[in-house]
Amino acid sequence: MFETLSDRLQAAFQRLSAKGRLEETDVDEAMKEVRRALLESDVNFKVVKDFIARVRETAIGQDVMRSLTPAQMVVKIVHDELITLLGEAAPLLRAPKAPTIYMLVGLQGAGKTTMVAKLGLQLKRTGQSPLLVAADIYRPAAIHQLETLGKQLNIPVYSEGTKSSPVTICQNALARAAELRSQTVILDTAGRLHIDETMMDELVQIKAQVNPTEVLLVVDAMTGQDAVRVAETFNTQVGITGVILTKVDGDARGGAALSVRTVTGVPIKLMGTGEKPDALEPFYPDRLASRILGMGDVMTLIERAQEEYDVDQAKAMEKKIRTATFDLEDFLSQLQMVKKLGPLQQIMEMIPGMGQAMRQHDVKVEEDDLKHIEAIIRSMTPKERHRPEIIDSSRRRRIAKGSGVTTQEVNMLLNQFKQMQKMMKQMGGWDGKGKPPRHIRSMMNMFR
């Protein structure tokens, strides 16, 4: 989402780093670039003005100017101010007595119904038993959508169709939650294409009757400043306790994320990072600030990996690598695990410096590349996967035909895998006993 903003900010900081010492004029010039980058990213004008003033005041201080690395100090100041701008991490509140009630509100098209299911899945994975409530009677498709998602995720959905009023549906849903002993109730309320008085009155009535633990506004990050105006209106008329940003994986400029906290005073609690049901992340301001400045987001990457991490499988894979017996079957299983972590381009962006480097060299990671590799390996026999050295020209032609690729692509994959195996042997220098080579042992002894 912050691709353009990230590139512009890093370009400004690179010009600063080219100077040995900073003058006040250098800081002012850099701040002009930062201001322009933020405004072009659709960040609220007042927010930008205050942000630049705070950064400049700190950056021209004596401690920064006399520092040995003044440019790095300015980057740190911007990083800290971005965290201040985004607010503190605010986890979802829990009711002291079950059930906890989350009331999701927002305009039609923001992804509210899908978000209800995503939130339900996240809570289910933490051991809770959620109940989803279809209270949008004005859009029958929303009821059907939520029922379908609930069935797919094995989460119960309470619905009365379109005959009852939303207030009655929500009240009856609480009684049903008591019967099911559901610890959490998530209300999918009606949205409109625009804000109207009837919509707001209905939401106020539901809030008064069910007394939700949280009123969460779902906003589309792609709408920029419109999202901020929507948040202001909902907060004034209904009263919201948190914001959920959706579609942050899209080609958005990021202005909503950088403005909504300051303008409304309401924290961002969650981010929807993709279309899949599990594409939902807690909002961490420090991690997002690091992404914006091209520092990556290693913590989120680690957390995603841990969710898919199988200890026994990892130990077996470690042994295969250590004993140089890693084959194409193992490579295929590792590819499948990587795919579970999320879109490949998104994963690469989380590695510090990788996103900017890929954009500078116009390198794009396509999901189709993984599909082609997977198709090639699946077109091999088990024996060929375990012993790729037996794959001669006739076998390569058969594999290419079976996977729908060219023979050259099969050759390329086999050559790359061969290089990978060589690298693994060099790292270990194994003789079949799993003993590291002399140069590796020497390095290990240095740290003992």
93 inside domain: no
Of 363, 357, 391, 361, which Cα lies nearest the Cα of 376? 391
Contact 239, 211 (CB under 8 A): no
How far is residue 439's CA from residue 442's CA, in Å, rounded to a whole number?
Answer: 5
Please tell me whether residues 342 and 438 are part of one structural domain: yes
pLDDT of residue 8: 78
Q: Within this chain, do residues 438 and 307 fall inside the same structural domain, yes or no?
A: yes
204 lies in some domain: yes
Residue with the two structure tokens 């989350």: 102
Residue 320 belongs to a domain: yes
Report d(CA 174, CA 209) in Å as an integer: 11
What gap in Å lies between CA 206 and CA 198, rounded to an integer?
Answer: 13
Print burial letters for 249-269: b (CB count within 10 Å at least 16), e (below 16).
beebbbbbbbbbbbbbebbbb
DSSP assignment letter at 436: P
**Residue 91 lies inside a defined structural domain of this protein:** no
The tokens of 388 are what? 């790729």
Q: What is the per-residue burial (b if ≥16 Cβ within 10 Å, else e) of 112-144?
A: bbbbbbbbbbbbeeeebbbbbbbbbbebeebbe
Question: Considering the domain boundaries, does residue 61 fall inside one?
Answer: yes
Domain boundary among 255, 275, 293: 293
User: Which H or E element spans position 341?
Assistant: none
Same domain, 39 and 58: yes
- Of 23, 57, 86, the one marking the end of a domain is 86
DSSP secondary-structure letter at 239?
A: -
Q: Where does residue 211 fall: left (phi above 0), alpha (psi -120 to 50 degrees), or beta otherwise?
A: left
Q: How does DSSP classify residue 277?
A: T
Kindly state whether residues 394 and 310 are assigned to the same domain.
Answer: yes
What number of helices (H) and strands (E) belong to the chain? Answer: 22, 8
First vs last Cα of the chain: how many Å apart? 44
- Amino acid at residue number 225: Q
Residue with tokens 């009821």: 143
Taking each helix axis as running N to C, give the angle between helix 24-40 and helix 70-86, from 0 to 180 degrees, rounded to the nearest 10: 40
One domain, residues 287 and 320:
no
Number of domains in the chain: 3
Block residue for tokens 């990457």: 301
Looking at the fold, whether 312 and 385 belong to one and the same domain comes out as yes
> Are 232 and 317 within one domain?
no
**E strand map for 135-257:** 157-158, 184-188, 214-220, 242-246
pLDDT digits (tens), the chain, 448 positions: 567 777 778 777 777 777 767 778 888 888 898 898 888 888 888 999 999 999 988 888 766 656 657 777 788 888 888 888 888 889 999 999 989 999 999 998 889 999 999 999 999 999 999 999 999 999 889 999 999 999 999 999 999 988 899 999 999 999 999 999 999 999 999 988 788 888 899 999 999 999 999 999 999 887 777 888 889 999 999 999 999 998 877 655 677 778 888 888 899 999 888 888 888 989 888 888 877 776 655 555 555 565 665 656 666 666 666 666 778 888 887 777 766 766 666 666 655 555 555 555 555 556 667 788 889 999 999 999 988 889 999 999 999 999 999 999 999 888 888 877 776 666 554 444 445 445 444 444 433 3
Report how far residue 289's alpha carbon sits from residue 6's, in angstroms, rounded to the nearest whole number. 10
Give a yes or no: residue 118 inside a domain: yes
- pLDDT at position 443 is 40
Contact criterion met (CB below 8 Å) for 263 and 287: no
Q: Is residue 373 domain-shared with residue 435, that is, in the same domain?
A: yes
Beta-strand (E) ranges in 32-190?
Answer: 100-105, 130-134, 157-158, 184-188
234, 261, 293 - which closes a domain:
293
Is there a single domain that holds both residue 346 and residue 437? yes
Shared-domain flag, residues 153 and 211:
yes
187 backbone dihedrals φ, ψ, rounded to 5°: -95, 125
Could you tell me if 283 and 337 lie in one domain? no
Bridge-based pairing of strands 242-246 and 280-282 is unpaired
Q: Is residue 95 part of a domain?
A: no
Q: Which residue has the tokens 């109940």?
A: 131
- Give the C-alpha separation, 104 to 242, whole Å: 10
- Which CATH number is 22's domain given? 1.20.120.140
Q: Which residues make Cβ contacts (< 8 Å) with residue 379, sequence separation at least 6?
A: 398, 399, 400, 402, 403
Say which residue the tokens 């202005």 belong to.
255
Q: Are 78 and 143 in the same domain? A: no
- Chain-centroid distance of CA 336 in Å reads 19
- Structure token digits, residue 295: 């520092």
- The CATH number of whichever domain residue 353 belongs to comes to 1.10.260.30
* CATH number for the domain harbouring residue 109: 3.40.50.300
Q: Tokens 């050259």 belong to which residue? A: 408
Does the predicted TM-score (pTM) go above 0.85?
Answer: no
Residue 253 lies in a domain: yes
Domain that holds residue 228: 100-293
Are 131 and 158 in contact by the 8 Å Cβ rule? The answer is: yes
pLDDT at 444: 40
**What is the predicted pLDDT for the residue at 287?**
80
Is the peptide bond between 388 and the residue preceding it cis, with omega within 30 degrees of 0? no
